[in-house]
Amino acid sequence: MKNRYILLIIPLFILIYFGLSLGNSTINIFHMTKQESNIILLLRAPRVIFGLLCGMGLALCGSIMQGITRNPMASPFTLGVSSAAAFGAAVAIVFLNDNPATIMFGAFSATILCAFIVFICALKKDMDSLTMIIIGIALNYLFTALTSTLQYMTSDDKISAIIKWTFGSLNGVDWSNVWILLGILIPTLLLSQRKAWILNLICNCDDDYSISLGVNPSKERLILGFASLILTAVIISTCGIIGFVGLAAPYISKRLIGNNHKYLLTHSMIIGGILILISDILGRTLFSPIIIPIGIILSYIGVPILINLIMKRGEK
C-alpha cells in the first residue's frame, strides 16, 4: 500500500514544480531574480497550491458522496450544488455586479441553501441514499431552470460573464483563498478518516444491518454529507464549477486500491490533486498567453480515462 502512495506522490511533486515554473514565461525556481520570485510567491504559488487543495477537496467529497449514497457514479454535485452555485453566481452578476467577491458570496449562499433543502427533505424520509439522490436531481433541474430564466432575461455581456464562470478557473486566487480552503479541508478530512469504518459499513451493508451494529446511518449521512457539501461550496464559490474530479478520482482509486475508505479517501485526494495540476498546467501552456479554463481541460483529460476504466471493468 505504501508503494502505491509513493508512486503517486513523486509525480505530484513533479507537477508542482512544473506548475510553478511554467506560464507566460518559464522560470527556474532554483535561480530566480527578485521579480521572478515575486511572480512565484504572489501569483503562481497560490494558484498551484489552491489547485492542489481544490482537487484534493473535490476528490474527498466525491469519495464521501459515493460512500453515503452507495452510488459509484455519485459526486459532490449529485445533490444539485453545482447548479445552485451557478444560480447564485448568476444572481450576483445580474442584480449586483461581476466583482469576484460578490460572485463568490452569491455562489456560496446558493450552495448552502441547496444543501439545507436536501437535508431537510431527506430527514423527513429517514435520510436514505435514494431519497438524497432524487431530491438532488430535482433541485438540479430547478436551479438550472432558474439560471436559464435569468440568462434569458438579461443582457449579452452578463450572459457571457455567467457562462465564463461556469467553465471553472483558478485565475485570481490568492493566499487568502488558500488558507480558507485549507481551514475547511483539514477538519473534513479528519472527520471522514475518523468515520472511515462507518463509510465502509454504510457503503457495503443495508441500513438495517448498520442499525443492528449500533450505527445510525441517517445521522451519519447527515454529518458526512453536510461536511462534504460545505467543503464543495467553498471550492466552487471560489473557482467555479469543476465537476469531473469528484467523480473520476474516487473511481480511479477504487480500481487501484479497492473500496476500503481508510485508504481510499487519501488516495483519491492525491489523484484529484494530480488531475487538477495537469489540467491547469496544460491550460496555461498549450495556447499561451491564452489561458484555457481548467474545467474544459479537465474534461478532455478525464473523460477518456474514466471511459477506459469503465470499459475494462466491463470486460472483466
Assigned C-alpha cell, 113: 441553501
155 to 30, 104, 151, 258, 294: CA distances (angstroms): 48, 21, 8, 50, 26
Pick from 24-33, 233-242, 274-283, 307-316: least confident: 307-316
pLDDT of amino acid 22: 84
Assigned C-alpha cell, 63: 469519495
pLDDT tens digit sequence for 61-93: 999 988 888 877 777 777 788 888 889 989 998
pTM over 0.85: yes
294 vs 171: CA distance, rounded Å: 9
Asked if the model's pLDDT at residue 183 lies above 90, the reply is yes
pLDDT tens digit sequence for 224-274: 888 888 898 888 888 888 878 888 888 888 888 888 888 899 999 999 999
Asked if the model's pLDDT at residue 315 lies above 60, the reply is no
Nearest by Cα to 26 from 38, 40, 42, 12: 40
Decide: residue 265, CB within 10 A, 0-12 exposed, 13-18 middle, 19+ buried. Answer: buried
pLDDT tens digit sequence for 112-144: 888 888 778 777 666 666 777 788 888 889 999
